Amino acid sequence: MVTRAETPRRKDYFLSVPASLRCFVNIATSSVYGKYATDDEETPPKPTSYYGVTKLAAEQLVLGRQREEGFPACSLRIFSVIGPRERPEKLYPLLMQSILKDTPSPLFEGSLKHARSYTYVGDIVAGFLAVLTRPERAVGEIFNIGSTKMITTGEGIAIVENILGQKAQFDIQPKRAGDQLQTQANIEKARRILGYEPQTSLEDGLVAEAAWYLERIHGRDL
């Protein structure tokens, strides 16, 4: 009979942890909750997109090591980020580009009614700083980081149209599988433990993003 030799359990799959490391911050996403991201961190994740599944897997890899070996880590579930330097394929940069060039902007069927708690990038950074100034409170925890204010995609588009003074045109695309229908960050835990409180309204955030886009991108994009 052929037997398989037992493989000894290894403890060196990960790089050694420097003694100076106080808290490793994993960047997760509201997409781990699935179509509706409105509950607290105790809600069982039900991702509906490949993106949400992979982000949940990464979160659990990090927190699994924290539970098993005491690795100093936490995870921040980030809600939709807007503001200067937003990725060019996201809604608002595409919208600004199309309005300024007078061309149609891609829009997924049904998405005008989707609701999001769009969060200004500065308020997301404030969440990271809250962890870095209180690492002993954050280790082993998951936190929602985002705005508690919810707005539909259609309402957000209207704000951008008003800022730029021109109506948008749209190229309607087929419904996107796994897309979220509603997100509204429940940040009670982050408030209680980290003292986290977002400060910037969506309107002010989009004004800042539009100003950045006009100064740094418009006329230079290909």
Catalytic residues: 51
Q: Based on the number of CB atoms within 10 Å of its own CB, is 54 exposed (0-12), middle (13-18) or buried (19 or more)?
A: middle
Rounded to the nearest angstrom, the gap between the alpha carbon of residue 65 and the centroid of all alpha carbons in its chain is 23
Residue 192 CA to residue 142 CA, distance in Å, equals 13
CA quadruple 83, 87, 90, 91: dihedral positive or negative?
positive
Residue 49: both structure tokens together = 């997109």
| Sign, CA torsion 52/53/55/60 | positive
